[in-house]
């Protein structure tokens, strides 16, 4: 593979080979990651990377758009079919700029927005004080309930009634439970707020029918395309017709210049894949795997935030284990299990050295792993963390993991 790169740029070629090996011989448990198909990667690496096409199909500022227009229209049509929405903008570069475009298009500077606190599972763009969102808008965050680790919709309602936000954001980065969209809708109607769902993590679960959809209740929905949706790195914004003009203007020319047409082509391919019946099986298996992994971990004595999972992710609370998240992440890296340290709600430790570890099943499910494989992974996690200072022990586990991975080819990688 990559014969041209091998000829012209040995340095990058060698690093790429080594990344292909890492992705093949390790177990990818970061819940925001996935393996895009070979077809998605072909589109990403296609000649559409050469084109400039500021504007929208039929209204461009450059010539030669006959193919790009078709690609963008297909991406939009497939996204509409997949999620059942009125309007879609597929030009957002990534999840963060998509959220920025919604705020820029629908709010004035200084307006009040309400999102879940970062250390409770929200995203930086939902109002973290040092992000553009926290610096530009008046943020009144909501929290999960301390005892349960779950959203309590009475608490959300109380916060909304108190501050009357112009925009309420639901949809998270580290929340393992089903989101009650309808309850948000009732609150939004009550206080007159615009409702924005950020389904970056769970878009694939929604498309696959294993998580309820916010579409009937929410005004605007943003999502990345590279997480459970399994497409190229990128994002899109979906909305009700009444917001369509403001959203499109906010994306271009409000925030962006030319769309990345190669990514748009790859988004269209990924949406086409997600429309196939097999994608429903994939989404269901992600959740079954997460549940199996969570149950086994709890059996082995781990505390999980909220006591388990309904979706693709698991948040381990390591406070009772006396191993902080950072040490756990580094220990698991040594055996080829890739995870990420994460804050837990009401975390007593700082964000760069938090008490939690976040795991997820989207990538390993793409490789074809099933419930019985989750048992193995839970056993490796437990054994590694029990022997985190024993490098020889960890090295033996690493070899076991490597052998195991040979049974599960990665789409798009030939070694
Ligand atoms: C990942 C994520 C984003 C940001 O996406 P980027 O592509 O990394 O900018 C936004 N919101 C949520 C909830 C996310 O999980």
Find tokens 């694939």 and name the residue: 204
Backbone phi, psi, residue 181, to 5°: -60, -40
**Per-residue pLDDT, 50:** 98
**Per-residue pLDDT, 201:** 98
Mutate-to-test residue for ligand 1 from 94, 96, 313, highest number of ligand atoms within 8 A of CB: 96
* pLDDT, averaged across the chain: 97
Closest atom, ligand 1, to C-alpha of 32: 1
> Are 232 and 326 part of one and the same domain?
no
Domain membership of residue 2 (yes or no) is no
- Residue 117 pLDDT class (50, 70, 90 cuts): very high
Q: Does the pLDDT of residue 107 top 90, yes or no?
A: yes
CATH of the domain at 260: 3.40.640.10
| pTM beyond 0.85 | yes
> Are 227 and 319 part of one and the same domain?
no
- The alpha carbon dihedral of 174, 127, 240, 184 has a sign of positive
Domain membership of residue 50 (yes or no) is yes
DSSP states of 48-116 as a string? GGG----EETTEESSS--HHHHHHHHHHHHHHHHHHT-SEEE---SSHHHHHHHHHHHH--TT-EEE-B
Using one digit for the tens of pLDDT, what is the confidence trace for 381-413? 999 999 999 999 999 999 999 999 999 999 989
The mean pLDDT value for 175-201 works out to: 98
> Are 205 and 344 part of one and the same domain?
no
> Are 124 and 251 part of one and the same domain?
yes
Q: Is 147 assigned a catalytic role?
A: no
Closest atom, ligand 1, to C-alpha of 171: 13
> Residue 205 contacts by C-beta under 8 Å, 6 or more apart in sequence?
211, 228, 283, 286, 287, 311, 312
> Are 258 and 387 part of one and the same domain?
no
Pocket of ligand 1 (CB under 6 A): 32, 94-96, 123, 125, 171-173, 198, 200-201, 224, 235
> Are 369 and 294 part of one and the same domain?
yes
> Are 237 and 290 part of one and the same domain?
no
**Per-residue pLDDT, 1:** 86
Using one digit for the tens of pLDDT, what is the confidence trace for 315-359? 999 999 989 999 999 999 999 999 999 999 999 999 889 999 999
Q: Does the pLDDT of residue 156 top 90, yes or no?
A: yes
C-alpha to C-alpha distances, 222 to 126, 133, 257, 297, nearest whole angstrom: 12, 15, 19, 32
**Per-residue pLDDT, 393:** 98
Domain membership of residue 133 (yes or no) is yes
DSSP states of 220-254 as a string? EEEEESSSTT--SS-EEEEE-GGGHHHHHHIIIII
- Residue 103 pLDDT class (50, 70, 90 cuts): very high
Q: Does the pLDDT of residue 208 top 90, yes or no?
A: yes
Q: Does the pLDDT of residue 261 top 90, yes or no?
A: yes
Closest atom, ligand 1, to C-alpha of 172: 13
Residue 84's domain comprises 40-274
Q: Does the pLDDT of residue 415 top 90, yes or no?
A: no
> Are 159 and 49 part of one and the same domain?
yes
Q: Does the pLDDT of residue 194 top 90, yes or no?
A: yes
Dihedral-angle region of residue 171 (phi above 0 means left; psi in -120 to 50 means alpha; beta otherwise) = left
C-beta neighbour count of 328 within 10 angstroms: 22
Question: In this structure, what token pair is assigned to residue 14?
Answer: 């060698």
> Are 152 and 210 part of one and the same domain?
yes
- Residue 127 pLDDT class (50, 70, 90 cuts): very high
Which of these is catalytic: 72, 119, 198, 261?
Answer: 198
Domain membership of residue 21 (yes or no) is no
Among 246, 274, 302, give the residue marking a domain's end: 274
CA angle 16, 17, 18 (to 5 degrees): 90
> Count of domains in the chain?
2
Domain membership of residue 370 (yes or no) is yes
- Residue 304 pLDDT class (50, 70, 90 cuts): very high
Among 242, 274, 306, give the residue marking a domain's end: 274
Strands 220-224, 194-198: pairing kind: parallel
Using one digit for the tens of pLDDT, what is the confidence trace for 219-249? 999 999 999 999 999 999 999 999 999 999 9
Among 244, 274, 304, give the residue marking a domain's end: 274
**Per-residue pLDDT, 414:** 86
CATH of the domain at 297: 3.90.1150.10
Give the least confident one: 84-88, 174-178, 263-267, 351-355.
351-355
- Residue 303 pLDDT class (50, 70, 90 cuts): very high
Closest CA to 196 of 222, 177, 176: 222
> Are 262 and 301 part of one and the same domain?
no
Domain membership of residue 313 (yes or no) is yes
> Are 242 and 126 part of one and the same domain?
yes
Give the whole-angstrom CA distance, residue 10 versus residue 155. Answer: 56
Q: Are 275 and 81 in contact (CB under 8 A)?
A: yes
Using one digit for the tens of pLDDT, what is the confidence trace for 25-80? 999 999 999 999 999 999 999 999 999 999 999 999 999 999 999 999 999 999 99
Domain membership of residue 47 (yes or no) is yes
**Per-residue pLDDT, 35:** 98
Domain membership of residue 19 (yes or no) is no
């Amino acid at each position: 593979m990559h014969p041209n790169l091998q000829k012209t740029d040995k340095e990058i070629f060698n690093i790429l080979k080594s990344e292909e090996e890492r992705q093949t011989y390790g177990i990818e448990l970061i819940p925001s990651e996935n393996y895009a198909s070979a077809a998605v990667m072909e589109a990403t690496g296609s000649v559409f990377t050469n084109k400039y096409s500021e504007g929208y199909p039929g209204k461009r500022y450059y010539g030669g758009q006959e193919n790009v227009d078709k690609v963008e229209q297909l991406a939009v049509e497939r996204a509409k079919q997949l999620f059942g929405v009125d309007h879609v903008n597929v030009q957002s570069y990534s999840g963060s700029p998509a959220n920025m475009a919604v705020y820029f298009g629908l709010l004035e500077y200084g307006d009040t927005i309400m999102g879940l606190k970062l250390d409770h599972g929200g995203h930086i763009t939902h109002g973290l004080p040092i992000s553009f969102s926290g610096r530009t808008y008046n943020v009144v965050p909501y929290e999960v309930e301390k005892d349960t680790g779950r959203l309590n919709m009475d608490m959300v309602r109380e916060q909304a009634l108190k501050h009357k936000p112009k925009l309420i954001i639901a949809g998270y980065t580290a929340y393992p439970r089903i989101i009650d969209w309808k309850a948000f809708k009732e609150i939004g109607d009550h206080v007159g707020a615009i409702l924005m769902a950020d389904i970056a993590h769970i878009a694939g679960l929604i498309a696959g029918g294993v998580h309820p959809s916010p579409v009937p209740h929410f005004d605007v929905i943003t999502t990345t395309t590279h997480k459970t949706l399994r497409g190229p790195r990128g994002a899109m914004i979906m909305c009700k017709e009444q917001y369509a003009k403001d959203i499109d203007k906010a994306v271009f020319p409000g925030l962006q210049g030319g769309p990345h047409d190669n990514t748009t082509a790859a988004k269209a391919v990924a949406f086409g894949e997600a429309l196939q019946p097999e994608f429903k099986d994939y989404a269901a298996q992600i959740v079954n795997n997460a549940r199996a992994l969570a149950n086994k971990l709890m059996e082995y004595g781990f505390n999980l935030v909220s006591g388990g999972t309904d979706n693709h992710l698991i948040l381990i609370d390591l406070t009772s284990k006396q191993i902080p998240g950072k040490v756990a992440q580094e220990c698991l890296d040594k055996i080829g299990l890739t995870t990420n340290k994460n804050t837990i709600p009401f975390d007593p430790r700082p964000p760069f050295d938090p008490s939690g570890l976040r795991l997820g099943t989207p990538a390993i499910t793409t490789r074809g792993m099933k419930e019985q494989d989750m048992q193995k992974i839970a056993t490796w996690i437990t054994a590694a963390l029990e022997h985190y200072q024993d490098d020889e022990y960890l090295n033996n586990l690493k070899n076991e993991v490597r052998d195991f991975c040979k049974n599960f080819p990665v789409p798009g990688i030939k070694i």
